[in-house]
Structure 1
Amino acid sequence: MFNRNSIIILALALIAGLGLVAGNKVFNRPAPEHAGATASITWYASPRELPEYNLAQSDGTRLVPGELRGHWTLVFLGFTTCPDICPTTLMELAGAQQQWRALPDSVRPRLLLVSVDPERDTPARLGEYAHAFHADTLAATGELPALEKFATSLGFVFRKAEGDSFATNPDDYSVDHSAGLAVLDPQGRLAGLIRPPFTAATIAADLTELTKKTAP
């Protein structure tokens, strides 16, 4: 359950998100090479390089910039004890993953789940959770400063929301977080945003078309 401060934070995030979208409509135009292909993505005027990052993946390897090159990638913030938004989103995206499974593995779009609850989500636990929805999903987490830097670079926010009994039960908390999908291009740059509600068929069609256009 969200407390008053959580509601305020979410309201501010919503206002900021609406401002970003409005700004995109006024100042930005869809990237010419992608514009005709997609219905679900709001494109930035030009792709944005991400600052250096280093997170722990569920398979024991490190997630660094080079790992996200060569594929279109959707990045979603979440956590394993999320009661509603995370499982609903991951289930919908699993439908998209099923629809683009015929694409070659070397260029197939990727979904990356980044946990913003490092206190409870070990990489292994996060991987089990993510793979319960779809085996191809990448999963990563890290120390709080690294997660904050990575989320901010995507234009996302998250915040620990303490429950009523947090003082006596340290596990009584949730995590408020942005619910959009960051779209990274095959160079690993932030290229666009997909806002909820999500539709598997539309996202799958968009990412499939983009992959076909940019595949070597």
Structure 2
Amino acid sequence: MSKRLALLLTLAALAAVAGLWAAQRFFPATPPLSAPALPAMQALTLFPTPRAVPAFTLQQADNKTLTSAQLQGHWTLVFLGFTHCPDVCPTTLAQLAGAQKQWAALPAATRPRLLFVSADPERDSPQLVAQYAHAFHPDTLAATAALPQLQAFARALSLVFMKVPGASGTANDYSIDHSAALVLLDPQARMAGVVQPPLNVKGITADLETLTKTTR
């Protein structure tokens, strides 16, 4: 990870903490009396109150769009990466494929989902992103978008990414530094929590099964 990305991640974390403090200080939330307490988690960190995510439109293969409306009804893990990623992306997707195999026993209508979003639209077409993600597990949702839309989407989920030129200086010689954390969206497509690396895949699997069975 570059020093610049580390600084961006630190600033993003500080901004998130400051925003949460301000919200609790000046706008204390009182949950509905009927709202059940969320179960204890092994690997996920759940927010006390889910955060609304601004409307977004991502591009999938075959000219299909992906919006927040299509994620409703499922708990969804969002992972930001790119297909030329040498280590973090393939490792993470391979690990989560094990969780997806376990989730296959759950009803399709409420089964947890994994959404892989490429932050490299210059090289990653929607078709290439889909081929890459589906090589790990066919149920993975895969998408990308134009850079401005990607930046807005990542910012809404407190994720960051940046282009890092390679040693040769040629146009296609670059990498993408990006957040390694996963973001959890609830069945209303709100930001409900995060998963920090290193990943506890067994814990993630169990947590999502529990949430799917006990919440709506």
| Range into which the TM-score falls when normalised by the shorter chain | 0.7 to 0.9
Alignment-derived partner of residue 9 in structure 1 = 5
Structure 2 SS opposite 1:133: coil
Which amino acid in 2 is paired with 1:7? Answer: K
CA deviation after TM superposition for structure 1 residue 100, in Å: 1.2
Structure 1 SS opposite 2:74: coil
Alignment-derived partner of residue 182 in structure 1 = 183
Q: Distance in 2 between matches of 1:170 and 1:109?
A: 38
2:64 to 38, 61, 65: 61
Contact 2:121 2:147 (C-alpha < 8 Å) held by counterparts: yes
Q: Distance in 2 between matches of 1:190 and 1:12?
A: 20
Once structures 1 and 2 are overlaid, which stretch shifts more, 171-180 or 58-67? Answer: 58-67
Q: Which sections of structure 2, spanning at least 5 residues, go unmatched?
A: none
Q: TM-score, normalised by structure 2?
A: 0.88
Identity rate, percent:
52
CA deviation after TM superposition for structure 1 residue 99, in Å: 1.2
Alignment-derived partner of residue 197 in structure 1 = 198
1:114 to 114, 117, 129: 117
Measured on the aligned residues, the alpha-carbon RMSD in Å equals: 2.4
Which amino acid in 2 is paired with 1:17? Answer: A
Summarize deviations over 1:117-164 as a string: whole Å, max 9, x none: 000000000000000000100001000000000000000010000112
Q: TM-score, normalised by structure 1?
A: 0.88
Matches within 5 A, 1:42-121: 42-121=45-124
Count, aligned residues: 208
Once structures 1 and 2 are overlaid, which stretch shifts more, 53-62 or 200-209? Answer: 53-62
